[in-house]
Structure formats: C-alpha cells, structure tokens
Amino acid sequence: MEKYSAFEQKLNIDFQNKSLLQQAFIHRSYINEHKGTDLEHNERLEFLGDAVLELVVTDFLFEKYPDIAEGRLTAYRSALVRTESISAAARAMGMNDLLMLSKGESRDEGKARDYILANTFESFVGAVYLDLGYDAARSVIKNALFDTIDTIISEGTWRDAKSYVQEKAQELYNETPRYELVSSDGPDHDKNFVMAIYFGDKEIAEGSGNSKQKAQQDAAQKAIQSEGWED
C-alpha cells in the first residue's frame, strides 16, 4: 500500500479504511482477470461519488455566481464535471499510476483511459466521502476543479459551441454552418480528426479532436473566436 500512502501525503489526507482507498482504483476489468480475489471494483463508489461531485460543484457555482441564471449555471456545471475536465484532474493528481486494470486495459492510453480516469475520480470522491465525510470530499473537489472555472468561462468552452454558432450564423448571415472532414490519423483506438467549419463556401476555422464530434466542437469554438462572438 506504499503507493497509496504517497498519494495520501500528496493530497494531505489520511484514510481510516485503507481498503476503501484501494477499491477506488480497482477497475472491473482487473476483477474479471483475477477471479477468486476478495477485492471489489469501484463502480458503487463511482455511483456515490458522482452524486457528491454534482452537489459540491452545484453549491460552488450557486454561491460564486449569485446573479447568473439557472440555464447558464447548468452549462458551467456540465463543463466542470465532463470527462475531459475530471480526467485531466485525475491525471494531475497522479491517479493514472494507481489504477488496477486488466492487461488489455492497461495498454490503452487513449480516450478509453480518459473515461476510466474520470470514473476513477468519481470513485475516489465517493471513497473520501464515506471515510472522511463531506467536507473532506469537498476539499478534494475544490483543489482539483474549482480554479478551472475561470478558464472555462474566459475561453467560452462552457457553451455548446455548435448550437451557438448555428444560431449566430443563421441570425447574422442566414447561413447554416456545415462541417467537412479535413484529415484523420492515428490508430483506431486513438485517432485524431481535423474538421473544417464553413459558412456557405467560406471556410471559417478548423478544429481537432479524438472524435469527429469533438473536432466539430473545437472548430465551432474557433469560429466563435474568429467571428468575435464571445460574450
């Protein structure tokens, strides 16, 4: 359990139940590959942690932005707790080195790993809540995520960029944006796509991502910046 002790020290927390801490990092694939073990995977903890995470973030945004309406607060919350945000937080905390995965899962460092890390972050939050209480869980979430909201707002990544661009393009230019694939490269499990966004025949911007949808969102966000449509 030495690696977990170093992790606790890094976060300045001390679990009473060390087995619960370990469980937060056990993926179902590890259990499936190690039949007969008395270990449990982390999915129940993930279920609990997801609810704690949503409550903590909702409370934070409610208090931080007293004059902002519910619809935009919901968009802010979605941006803070989406897979990309919490998987990045999990990596920064060192969770990737603590994962207990099957041999097959351990070889995949692409978008599937980000999904596992996001779920693990939620599992860890659930474990902290059970072992140390709400305030400790809130502290973990605060240190991992709260500071990112300013960047999310300044960059406009809280909004659904594609929907926003469509509304603005139709309002100002009477055009419906279209997207075209520019290129794709990389192995099947970790491809990178480049998509271009057009108003009519004019290319406005290009975006990239590990799926066509994410590349389109990135292209739409860059179109917002190019057109000067930030709030």
Q: Which two tokens stand for residue 172?
A: 């100002």
Angle between helices 70-81 and 148-155 (to 10 degrees): 120
DSSP per-residue codes, 158-174: TS-HHHHHHHHHHHHHS
| β-pair type (202-209, 192-199) | antiparallel
Question: So which residues are the catalytic ones?
Answer: 50, 122
Please tell me the distance from the alpha carbon of residue 47 to that of residue 62, in angstroms, as a whole number: 23
Give me Rg for the CA atoms of the chain. Answer: 20
Q: Name which of 228, 166, 229, 167 is nearest 198 in CA terms.
A: 166
